[in-house]
Amino acid sequence: MKDLFKIIGVPETADDATIKKAYRKLAKEFHPDVTGGDKKKTERFKEINEAYDVLSDKEKRAAYMRLKNAPVRPDGMPEGFDPETFAQTFGGQGGVHFSSGGGVDLGDMFASLFGDARGARGGGAGGGAWGRQGRAQQPRGSDVAGSLEVTFAEAALGTRRTIRAGGGDKVEVSIPAGVESGARLRVGGKGAPAPGKGGVPGDLYLDIAVAPDKHLRRSDGDVELTLPVSLAEAALGAKVQVPTIEGSVTVTVPPGTSSGAKLRLRGRGIKRADGTRGDQICRVEIVVPKGAADDPELRRLFEDLARRTGGKAVRDF
């Protein structure tokens, strides 16, 4: 059974952040756009994606660890292996599959985990209908790679897009919430047609590019915004309209707010896989009026303000 931790280059005790960091480094190194389509490196890229698909998912990772540490049966399968449970855990919903680096279908996952063990006893527990052996005997069309740009809001909330696939057919693609630039979406069976009769088409792979937003930035599951406020708004308080990924909302600037203060809009951030959402954080930036020192009236007002407040900020250095 393949050691997925070794493929990613992390210990079995690695946390999610460590696994994600190691995966991203390898994915950038072996991405076909970087390697120029080198076959060995492309296979390595696919292997990295398949390993990450399992290790980044708590349920799949737990199931993998149970199989990895189980005694091996005479047919080459781990003790306790059950095809139906395996299918439910690793199989996905069919059609479009997604992970941070690429989609993995059931046959791919079975082969990735068990390698040649799938051939035991006439195809093994996972051969037959959904193992790779049946597919390997059929001619298969080439995989097709493309790119798909989505807006910042679409990436944060998820969306559906209709695109033209390899054969010119229209295909509806589901973009999962929280997707990041560099992610790879797999659309099964929508690549180039198979050569000859009786074959199966290849797959379509879409590299996702998230267009930057003019005002909003992503920080893990949160959205950040720089919020300019005037001296008067900061001193006296104000209600200000700010953009979010779902449109404009009102945020309250409390009286006496300092530059650098963070105003939090809860639940206005990136959608997570568990249905929860991050927050939007508005970082206050006090803006001094242009030409204030050159306007006699404004200068008089600032001088009066300086006399009343001591003229200097409180500093701890």
The answer to which of 21-30, 215-224, 241-250, 290-299 has the lowest mean pLDDT is: 290-299
Phi, psi of 159 (to 5 degrees): -160, 180
Calpha distance 204→166 (Å, rounded): 7
Calpha distance 141→194 (Å, rounded): 4
Instruction: Write down the pLDDT at residue 106.
Output: 42
Residue 115 has pLDDT above 60, yes or no: no
Residue 81 has pLDDT above 80, yes or no: no
| Signed CA dihedral, 57, 62, 65, 66: sign only | negative
Name the pTM for this structure.
Answer: 0.56
- Give mean pLDDT, residues 187-209: 84
> 86-106: per-residue pLDDT in tens?
655 565 433 333 333 333 344
| Cα angle: 61, vertex 99, 18; to 5 degrees | 55
Structure confidence at residue 164 as a pLDDT band (50, 70, 90): confident
Calpha distance 12→217 (Å, rounded): 33
In the chain, what are the domains?
1-137 (1.10.287.110), 142-212 (2.60.260.20), 216-309 (2.60.260.20)
Residue 173: name the closest of 109, 88, 98, 272 by CA. Answer: 98
